Amino acid sequence: MMCCVIARRPDPPNGYGSRRGLCPQYPYPSGSCRSSRIVADPAQKIDKTNPCYIIGNPLEQRMESQLYGFNATIIAKSFNPSILRESWLIEQGFLSQGDLRDAYIFSDEAVQFGTSRYSLVLIPQHLQFRPADREHSKDTIDQILSPMVRLLPHTPFRAVGINFIWHLDPGSEPLSSATRRLFCKNDSEFWRHFSADDAQFGAYMSKGLDCCRLKLETRPVVVHRGDQQAEVIQCAFNYHRDVDADNGSDDVVVLLKRWAELDRTSEEITQTIAGEARDGS
């Protein structure tokens, strides 16, 4: 695991965090998010000469996990937005008459629209597809996005990514304390440079899976909840697959078929991180 240190309070644009790589993570709010509350109950000794000492009483801390957003992102050398006309989408069964929401765009340069089941954004090198809710997301991917990709076999696809954004809310515990306990490596002299009480910590982890590369970035972010702001730990999961130019659409669908499995993996890892915070490990 390679860790990173954030020595000041981060304030990303609109509270949405960062976007990285060919298949960036786009954290969109979702009304179907599930959350769970985990109580931190370890009795942990505190050494204030150690940069990883805990501020506050871990016995009183609660950490809530929430799925904040999810999407599939496809990168191509060049999409042709003019293909995805409203009439074509209706003809192929991807759209019904009257299903479009009020705000939509169909042009030669860009396509953007939303329905009760999903939203889609298409520009010349980038397609983003977001199911409307988690419960039916696998069916929506299988019934809409995968068939749509197969109808574009001559598109020069380059990569595909599946993204899940989870948030961990430390509750009344300061974010500096929660991230210090999770991500501070106390046996390294380097961390002594970040012994200030307001230092915040995060981590970047990556590993190969049989179908893709998992990239996980955990970091403190500021999110907007109505008129108020809240500090949370963002866990941004990106499952990235480079696409074979000779087998483009089939290669994209290979990863899309794993949506439900990767969704479960993201939740399991997030709950493990929350468990680390609970146990004070």
pLDDT 10s per residue in the chain (281 long)?
Answer: 444 444 333 333 333 333 333 444 443 333 333 443 333 333 334 344 444 333 344 434 557 899 999 999 999 999 999 999 999 999 999 999 889 987 899 999 999 999 999 999 999 999 999 999 999 999 999 999 999 999 988 899 999 999 999 999 988 888 888 888 888 877 778 878 888 888 888 899 999 999 999 999 999 999 888 888 888 999 999 999 999 877 889 999 999 999 999 999 999 999 988 877 655 54
Domain assignment present for residue 266? The answer is: yes
Confidence (pLDDT) at 279 = 55
Name the token pair of 94: 């991807």
For residue 203, give its domain range: 2-73+158-279
Confidence (pLDDT) at 1 = 45
Indicate the DSSP class of residue 94.
S
Domain assignment present for residue 102? The answer is: no
Domain assignment present for residue 58? The answer is: yes
Check: CB of residue 255 under 8 Å from CB of residue 146. Answer: no
Give the three-class secondary structure for 224: strand
Confidence (pLDDT) at 276 = 73
Check: CB of residue 281 under 8 Å from CB of residue 183. Answer: no
Query: How far apart are the C-alpha atoms of 102 and 262, rounded to whole Å?
Result: 32
Return all residues near 82 (Cβ < 8 A) that are at least 6 apart.
107, 108
Return all residues near 91 (Cβ < 8 A) that are at least 6 apart.
none
Confidence (pLDDT) at 229 = 86
Alpha helices in 13-136 (DSSP H): 86-91
Residue type, 129: F
- pTM here is 0.78
Confidence (pLDDT) at 62 = 52
Query: How far apart are the C-alpha atoms of 77 and 184, rounded to whole Å?
Result: 41
Domain assignment present for residue 268? The answer is: yes
Domain assignment present for residue 87? The answer is: no
Based on the structure, what is the number of domains in the chain? 1
**Comparing C-alpha atoms, which of 217, 213, 274, 206 is closest to residue 20?**
217
Domain assignment present for residue 251? The answer is: yes
**Comparing C-alpha atoms, which of 35, 238, 33, 66 is closest to residue 133?**
33
Name the token pair of 78: 């060049």
Confidence (pLDDT) at 16 = 35
